[in-house]
Amino acid sequence: MKKISIWKIIIYVFLVLMAVIYLAPLFWTFNVSFKTNKEIFTAPFALPQNPTFENFTFAWTAGKLGIATLNSFIVCVVTLVLSMIIGSMAAFGIARLRWKGSHLALIYFLTGMMIPVHCVLIPLFTRFAKIGLSNTLTGLVLPYLTFALPITIFIMVGFFESMPNELIESACIDGASIYQIFFKVCLPLGKTGLFVTGLMTFIGNWNELLLAMVFISDDMKKTLPVSLSKFVGPYNTNYSQMFAAIIIAIIPTIIVYCAFSNQIVDGLTAGAVKG
C-alpha cells in the first residue's frame, strides 16, 4: 500500500474545503427556496418543515420568468452563434494567414478586453435611442457580441497557431481553397476552443444585468437577471420567492456547465500549450 504524502493530504483537504465554500451557498439557497419567509428568519439553516413548491409557481407565473427565460435564451444563443462564427474567422485570418497587419489586428481586438462596459453605456444608450434599437433584443445582442468577440478571438488564435503547419500545407497541395482549409481542417480541430469560448459567452451573457436593465424597459422583453430584480422591493422583499426565482435562473447554467465541464478543462489546457 502506497503511503500518501503530507502534501497530498493538504491539497485534498484544501480542495474539499474550497468545494464546501463554493457549494454551501448554492445548497443553502436551494434549501430556503422551499420555505416560507417565517421559516427563513426563524430557522435559516434548518431543513424546511413543510416543503412547498408555491414559491416556484409564483416566481414562474407572477414574476414572468417564463418569457424572461425565453428572452435570455434568444439573446444568448444568437450572440453565441455570431461570436463563434465571426470570432473563429477573424482568429483564423490572424493566426494562419500571412499579412502585415495581423499583429496590429490582434492588438486592436484585444483592446476590447480592457474597455469596461460602464465606459460605453451612455454612448450606446443615446446611439441606440436615435436609431431605434433601444428596448429591443437586437440592442442587447450587438453589445453582447462586441464584448464577446475579443476573448473569442484571443482564445481561438491560440488554438489555430498550435495546429501543425503540415496539415495546412497538405490541404494546399491537395488543392483546397482557403475556405475549405478553414471549414474542413482548422475549424474541426479547433472545436474544443469553440466549446470554451461558447460556454464563456453563454454563461456571461445569461447572467448579464447592467446592459439589459438600461436598454430594456418593456416587461415582455426583459431578460432573466432583470426579472429577478423585481423580487426585491424598496420596502418589502419576499425572500422565499426570490430564492426560488434564483434557483430557476441558475439551473440552465449549472446544466450547461456540468454537461461540458470536461471540454472546458481540455480546451483551456490545449489552448495554453503551443507546439
Tell me, what CATH number does 135's domain have? 1.10.3720.10
Ramachandran area for residue 164 (φ above 0: left; ψ -120 to 50: alpha; else beta): beta
The answer to whether position 29 is within a domain reads no
Please list, residue by residue across 72-89, b when 16 or more beta carbons sit within 10 angstroms of its beta carbon and e when fewer do. Answer: beebbebbbebbbeebbb
The answer to whether position 179 is within a domain reads yes
What does the pLDDT read at residue 206? 92
pLDDT tens digit sequence for 234-252: 556 778 888 888 898 888 8
With cell 426565482, the residue in question is 245
Helix then strand then coil, % of the chain, to nearest 5? 75, 0, 25
What does the pLDDT read at residue 236? 66
Please list, residue by residue across 145-175, b when 16 or more beta carbons sit within 10 angstroms of its beta carbon and e when fewer do. Answer: bbbbbbbbbbbbbbbbebbeeeebeebeeee
Share of the chain above pLDDT 90, in %: 23
The answer to whether position 48 is within a domain reads no
The answer to whether position 36 is within a domain reads no
The answer to whether position 197 is within a domain reads yes
pLDDT higher than threshold 70 for residue 270: no
Q: How many structural domains compose the chain?
A: 1
The answer to whether position 15 is within a domain reads no
pLDDT higher than threshold 70 for residue 275: no
Range of the domain at 175: 57-272
The answer to whether position 147 is within a domain reads yes
The pTM of the full predicted model, rounded to 2 decimals, is 0.82
